[in-house]
Structure 1
Amino acid sequence: MNQPKVSIYVPAYNCETTIAKCLDSLLAQTYPNIEIVVVNDGSTDKTREILANYVTSCRIIDQSNQGLSQTRSNAIEVCTGEYVATVDADDYVTPNWLTDCITVMGENSADVGMFGFVSVDQNDHELKYGLKREYRMEVLSSVETVKRLGKDKLKNMSWGFITKRDY
């Protein structure tokens, strides 16, 4: 089975309470060919100290505060994988997340994959009024994707997707 390299980038700013859980969930992936890029956007809390524990397993980039949009752009610029995925510093994923995504995308020759999510509190309890989105696997044309995004049938988040690096 072809296992293309996947770069996962994490923008990090003042996320001392969540970044370790996020990175631990990424490092626990069953998918074997990953690169994890963390861009610390000038955090003023203990985020940088926590990231020091991950320098052997993740690529850590420090920058002065540039804001989320520029941080995402800077992260994508240094990603080397055939695919790029984004996870926010307060997110965590299941161990098979990437294996499942890459498998389904490969089976369907997909260029972009979107995955579901559930909002939880610090104790992993689902938030009653939090966001929740479950997707069933289907292949959509570009036109249909845009239509569904416009009707809020697909959540348009800056996270929650994986795409070929070329895009």
Structure 2
Amino acid sequence: MKKIYKAFCAAETAVCGAAFATIVALTFMSAILRMLKVPLSWNMDLAMLLLAWASFLGADCAFRAGQMAGIDLLTRNFPKKAQNTVSLVILAAILTALLFFAHFGIKLVRSDYNRQYSSLPISFSWATLSLPVAAISMIVSTLLKIKNCIRAYGEQRDRHITK
């Protein structure tokens, strides 16, 4: 199971990188072509589609790596047990929000099914699908973080008993 998760994480990171590189290339190409008086309408829509996927999947990559903005000014001086308690409360709140994002994101995908991009022959639901997919991915990451916090409680308890 760990190999599958690691492969998924690597694929997610690769998709984010490829999407970001494509966004940069499309935007640069659009600027050059507009300067040459040859505007393209589809490249900005494709860049926005890729931006939705790159930003939401990138949020999971950053969250998983612990690179999200956090304020530990107050908690860094707490005892380890208190730090773990605060982390568990915050992770529970994040998990709750992600469950709402996944649920309502799926509803949004369904409602956007008939909506089309103006210059692309695809449904706009491909862009909105990035929200529930990333939310489900972040739910897995959050559950793993919760598991690690609970494991840290057990290790602290074991150290306290053996002393």
TM-score category of the 2 structures, normalised to the smaller one: under 0.3
Report which of the two has the higher share of strand: 1
TM-score, normalised with respect to structure 2: 0.23
Report which of the two has the higher share of helix: 2
Larger radius of gyration: 2
Structure with higher RCO (Cα < 8 A, 6+ apart): 1
